[in-house]
């Protein structure tokens, strides 16, 4: 059977790490039934790992099946980890170029992507080692191969070319993740056409790149390529970048993109792509033509359900390969669960981990299990974006009497010390009760700063603006933005 290629940034420096346990390993005593495993987890990414750990600690006999030679899933190998390590390297490069101490001594040049990826490969290697030890320590069987359902209690696993084994189970959880959506009109085998997996293999310098799709991945890579000195055309199908964000935050990232030289083309749609040996020409339905050295397609993702033979168990994925689940993460088949990117929103590694853990909790009947909600958004552009709770638009539509407190980073002592030029923390709160309704942050370290507000919002007994006013923050810190924003908000209340 033909299986899709798996991109692995470590292909040139493969690490030989295998779990020390096989299907014959000694195990904890599991449920009493005729199956080999109490639960089989399909996929070794964040959702799969969290589910496996929760289940094995509950005394279940667990196996994890994943097609890669190393654990970690797409998040570790081609998604979250390498892209964020790449982003950090570019961020360091930008700061180095901006520092007047080094400007005169440094010759400005474009940097090949594969050179910057050296750091990412180191991080991937460490992550694989770390996660492998988790499985070994918890004595979880890891089977490397492609799995497909035979029936609701049996899997057929291709562990090598035309070598198959059968695995039986009482329950299963599908955590196979997602991959970039690839429309038929593009030839992704062409060396100038990339998706967010393949882009990590770019081995030549470009002067200009087209990024089609201005979602999270598109905006993150727009920051990366601009930081590397490339010209970027960002094609947006909508009239606003990241339109689900608070409009002030969306406007801020669009403004900074333009300041950095990103050309944003809104309300555009692809007609076709013309490819040549050393360039591409994107034809848009508006009649525009854009010439570039390469194109990165980042317009959506699809669940990795192809090849699972879901019809054998009575399941059907939607047009994007995603599975429908209920509030307990159970599919329409009562012993089959699903979590992570394969069920769609919010398609974040952080949420996937929690979903996998919660799905496992429902499986074992934990009384305090509840579905994942109130997930913070983290977008690793340069600067970062992070938010949790309601936006101004949502509160206005719901006719909630809210007020706004703001702290601009440029006024904070710590931001001035570390050279932050832009950024804002925005707190939305009920003007009568002072309850915090939403927090939105734009600026470097936003993905860290947001968690202070998230923790306070979770404390139902003291989740008001007064918490920040009455709390002593270290000085100087970025965290004191909460007190500044809280005082700013209180000054608006009368």
One DSSP character per residue, 112-148 reads -HHHHHHHHHHHHHHHHHHHHHHHHHTT-EEEESEEE
Per-residue pLDDT at 108 = 54
| CA 275 distance to own-chain centroid | 30
**Which residues make up each annotated binding site for FAD?**
84, 341
What is the model's pLDDT at position 2? 56
User: What are the angstrom distances between the C-alpha of 338 and each of 164, 325, 362?
Assistant: 24, 7, 12
Q: How far apart are CA 433 and CA 45, in angstroms?
A: 42
pLDDT at 107: 56
Q: What is the pLDDT of residue 248?
A: 95
Decide if 226 contacts 260 (C-beta within 8 A): yes
| Stated length of the chain | 494
Is there a contact between 282 and 292 (Cβ–Cβ < 8 Å)? yes
Q: Report the alpha-carbon distance of residue 241 to residue 461 in Å, rounded.
A: 36
Q: What is the pLDDT of residue 193?
A: 98
Strands 289-292 and 141-144: unpaired
The secondary structure element, H or E, covering residue 229 is: none
Q: What is the pLDDT, as a whole number, of residue 121?
A: 85
Residue located via tokens 């007064």: 466
Residue 215 is predicted with a pLDDT of 95
Annotation: binding site for NAD(+):
213-220, 300
d(CA 472, CA 469): 8
Q: In angstroms, rounded to a whole number, what is the distance separating the alpha carbons of residues 379 and 385? A: 5
**What residue spans of 398-472 are helical by DSSP H?**
413-418, 446-458, 465-469
CB 429 within 8 A of CB 437: yes
pLDDT at 26: 35
Closest CA to 9 of 106, 118, 97: 118
Contact 426, 404 (CB under 8 A): yes
Instruction: Give which of 176, 154, 152 is closest to 165, Cα–Cα.
Output: 154
Question: Residue ranges of the chain with pLDDT lower than 50?
Answer: 12-30
Query: CA angle at residue 352 from 349 to 356, to 5 degrees?
Result: 145
User: How many contiguous H segments (helices) and E segments (strands) does the chain have?
Assistant: 13, 22
Sign of CA dihedral 409, 413, 414, 418: positive
- DSSP 8-state code for residue 155: E
Q: What per-residue confidence (pLDDT) applies to 314? A: 96
Closest Cα to residue 218, out of 257, 252, 245? 257
Binding residue positions: 84, 213-220, 300, 341
Query: How is residue 341 annotated by DSSP?
Result: G
What percentage of the chain's residues is helix, strand, coil (to nearest 5)? 35, 25, 45
Own/partner pairs, 454-458, CB within 8 angstroms, 24+ separation = 454/374, 454/376, 454/388, 457/374, 457/388, 457/389
Closest CA to 269 of 222, 232, 234, 235: 235
């Amino acid at each position: 059977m033909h299986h899709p290629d798996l991109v692995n940034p470590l292909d040139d420096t493969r690490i030989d790490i295998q779990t020390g346990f096989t299907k014959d390993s000694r195990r904890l005593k599991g449920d009493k039934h005729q199956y080999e495993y109490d639960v089989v987890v399909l996929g070794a990414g964040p959702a799969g790992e969290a589910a496996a750990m929760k289940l094995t600690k509950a005394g279940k006999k667990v196996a994890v099946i994943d097609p890669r030679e190393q654990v970690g899933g797409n998040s570790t190998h081609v998604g979250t980890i390498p892209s964020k390590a790449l982003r950090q390297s570019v961020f360091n490069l930008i700061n180095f170029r901006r520092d007047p101490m080094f400007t005169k001594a440094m010759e400005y040049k474009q940097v090949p992507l594969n050179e910057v990826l050296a750091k990412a490969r180191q991080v991937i290697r460490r992550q694989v080692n770390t996660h492998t030890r988790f499985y070994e320590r918890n004595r979880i069987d890891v089977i490397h191969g492609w799995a497909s359902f035979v029936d609701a209690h049996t899997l057929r696993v291709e562990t090598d070319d035309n070598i198959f084994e059968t695995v039986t189970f009482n329950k299963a959880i599908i955590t196979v993740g997602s991959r970039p959506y690839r429309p038929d009109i593009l030839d992704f085998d062409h060396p100038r056409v990339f998706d967010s997996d393949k882009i990590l293999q770019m081995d030549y310098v470009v002067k200009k790149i087209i990024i089609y799709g201005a979602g999270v991945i598109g905006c993150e890579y727009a920051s990366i390529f601009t930081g590397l000195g490339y010209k970027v055309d960002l094609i947006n199908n909508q009239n606003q970048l990241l339109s689900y964000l608070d409009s002030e935050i969306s406007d801020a990232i669009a403004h900074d993109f333009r300041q950095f030289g990103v050309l944003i083309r809104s309300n555009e749609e692809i007609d076709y792509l013309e490819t040549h040996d050393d360039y591409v020409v994107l034809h848009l339905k508006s009649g525009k033509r854009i010439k570039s050295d390469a194109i990165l397609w980042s317009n959506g993702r699809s669940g990795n359900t192809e090849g699972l033979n879901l019809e054998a168990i009575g399941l059907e994925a939607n047009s994007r390969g995603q599975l429908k689940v209920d509030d307990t993460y159970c599919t329409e088949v009562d012993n089959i669960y699903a979590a992570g990117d394969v069920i769609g929103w919010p398609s974040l590694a952080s949420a996937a981990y929690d979903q996998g853990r919660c799905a496992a909790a429902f499986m074992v009947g934990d009384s305090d299990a509840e579905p994942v909600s109130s997930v913070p958004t983290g977008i690793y552009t340069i600067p970062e974006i992070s938010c949790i709770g309601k936006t101004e638009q949502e509160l206005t539509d719901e006719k909630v009497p809210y007020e706004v407190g703001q702290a601009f980073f440029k006024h904070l002592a710590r931001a001035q010390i570390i050279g932050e030029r832009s950024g804002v923390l925005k707190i939305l709160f009920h003007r009568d009760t002072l309850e915090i309704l939403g927090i939105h942050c734009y600026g470097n370290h936003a993905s860290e700063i947001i968690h202070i507000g998230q923790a306070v919002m979770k404390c139902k007994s003291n989740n008001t603006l007064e918490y920040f006013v009455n709390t002593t923050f270290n000085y100087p810190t970025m965290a004191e933005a909460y007190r500044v924003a809280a005082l700013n908000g209180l000054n608006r209340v009368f």
